[in-house]
Amino acid sequence: MGIDLPLLWAVIILFGVMMYVIMDGFDLGIGILYPFFKKKEDRDVMMNTVAPVWDGNETWLVLGGAGLMAAFPIAYAAVLSAFYLPLVFMLVGLIFRGVAFEFRFKATEHQQHFWDKAFIGGSIAATFFQGVTLGAFIHGIDAIDIHTGAYIGNDILHWLTPFSVFTGLGLVVAYALLGSTWLIMKTDGELQQRMRILTRPLAWILLAVIAVISLWTPLAHEAIAHRWFSLPNLFYFLPVPLLVALTMYHLLRTTKYAHAAPFLLTLALIFLGYSGLGISVWPNIVPPHITIWQASSPSQSQGFALIGVLLILPVILLYTAWSYYVFRGKTRHGEEYH
């Protein structure tokens, strides 16, 4: 076999998780922004910008889970059993958020506010605990049975650290910014104007979050510091913080007048942050001990599933793009489409 299957699969899973973060990011962001918009009409429009697509966006999370199980069963067992409680809380958040899409429009007037709250609470909880899991993951899992990946520690709150709480809050800000810039693109009039106003402080806060995490991680983990600050790595990775600064500058500038640019720039920002995390933990799939090669399933499994990915994923991207195209343009209240 000339191909490094585990490497390919690591790329596929990184891609799948990134697609999830970007796409469900703005869905969840809308829920996080709900508290700032009290009017029912505004909330209707906000929800309707993603109602036709949110389910497909969430599916990337299932692909990440299934792909991890197929290609790196030991990592799947490790991550899911070690982060048991935060993942359960995340799932419960996603349950409330998901059904709110359906129930909110079917509830009676006086029940609707309950599903509004479910949408808000579910979105915030799902995002926060995703971020907590991410922070705990970067921090690494020690009490692992290397052979099976099962978590063998008995501390059920080992994932709860100041760092993981901070990454949890950080992700809430990141998704809120994805949501607000998405809505700049998909709405107009007064609602859009208010999104523009909200985007600036969110962008500044996110910049601060990125800065803090960029300092905190290498200070707390020697391996990560070595990865970034040893020569010649420093020169290879220097573009990352420079690009962040450049993206940020344009984001703040275009927020005042552009429609799609702020959202695209936010995507770039998220991608840069994500790549930074990737650089930090590579080639571990379960920091600090298990690499992608150690966690791999047999090549018969990785090869079989790879055929499906290579053949089907492009088709999925095509019809997903088509469904976004069908619902292109501004979502307005009280306007007839033809």
Partner 1 sequence: MIALDALTLARVQFGFTVSFHIIFPALTIGLASYLAVLEGWWLHSRKQVYQDLYHFWLKIFAINFGMGVVSGLVMAYQFGTNWSYFSAFAGSVTGPLLTYEVLTAFFLEAGFLGVMMFGWNRVGPGLHFLSTIMVALGTLVSATWIIASNSWMHTPAGYEIVAGKVVPTDWLQVILNPSFPYRLAHMGVAAFLATALFVAAVAAWHLLRGRQQPAIRKMFSMALWMALLVAPLQALIGDFHGLNTLKHQPAKVAAIEGHWENHASPGMPLTLFGWPDMKREETRYALQIPRLGGLILAHSWDGQIPGLKEFAPADRPNATIVFWTFRIMVGLGVLMIALGVWGFYLRCRKRLYQSRAFMHFALWMGPTGIIAILAGWYTTEIGRQPWTVYGVMRTADAVSTHSALQLGISLVIFVLVYFAVFGAGIVYMMRLAQQGPILNEGKETNPGGPGQLHQPMRPLSAAPAVSKDKEQNTNPGN
Per CB under 8 A, does 285 bind partner 1? no
Q: Give dist(CA 202, CA 192) in Å, integer.
A: 15
Q: Give dist(CA 130, CA 108) in Å, integer.
A: 32
Q: Give dist(CA 331, CA 76) in Å, integer.
A: 39
**What is the separation of C-alpha 311 from the centre of its chain, rounded to a whole number of angstroms?**
25
Hey, what amino acid is at 67? G
Q: Which stretch binds partner 1 (CB under 8 A): 211-219, 252-260, 286-294, 320-328?
A: 320-328
Q: In this chain, which of 23, 45, 198, 281 binds partner 1, going by CB under 8 A? A: 45
Q: Which stretch binds partner 1 (CB under 8 A): 38-46, 219-227, 237-245, 270-278?
A: 38-46
Per CB under 8 A, does 146 bind partner 1? no
Residues 51-110 that bind partner 1 (CB under 8 A): 51-53, 55-56, 58-59, 61-63, 65-71, 73-74, 76-81, 84-85, 87-88, 91-92, 94-96, 98-99, 101-103, 105-109
Per CB under 8 A, does 241 bind partner 1? no
Q: In this chain, which of 8, 150, 160, 240 binds partner 1, going by CB under 8 A? A: 150
Choice between 63 and 178, CB closer to partner 1? 63
- Give the C-alpha distances (Å, rounded to integers) separating 246 from 102, 241, 252, 266: 40, 9, 10, 12
Choice between 41 and 201, CB closer to partner 1? 41
Residues 174-213 that bind partner 1 (CB under 8 A): none
Q: Which of 211, 217, 32 is nearest to 140 (CA)?
A: 217
Residue with tokens 């409680």: 85
Helix (H, G, I), strand (E, B) or coil at 106: coil
Q: Minimum distance between the CB of residue 170 and partner 1, rounded to whole angstroms?
A: 23
Q: Minimum distance between the CB of residue 42 and partner 1, rounded to whole angstroms?
A: 9
Q: Minimum distance between the CB of residue 126 and partner 1, rounded to whole angstroms?
A: 10
Q: CB under 8 Å to 228, separation ≥6 — which residues?
A: 218, 234, 237, 279, 280
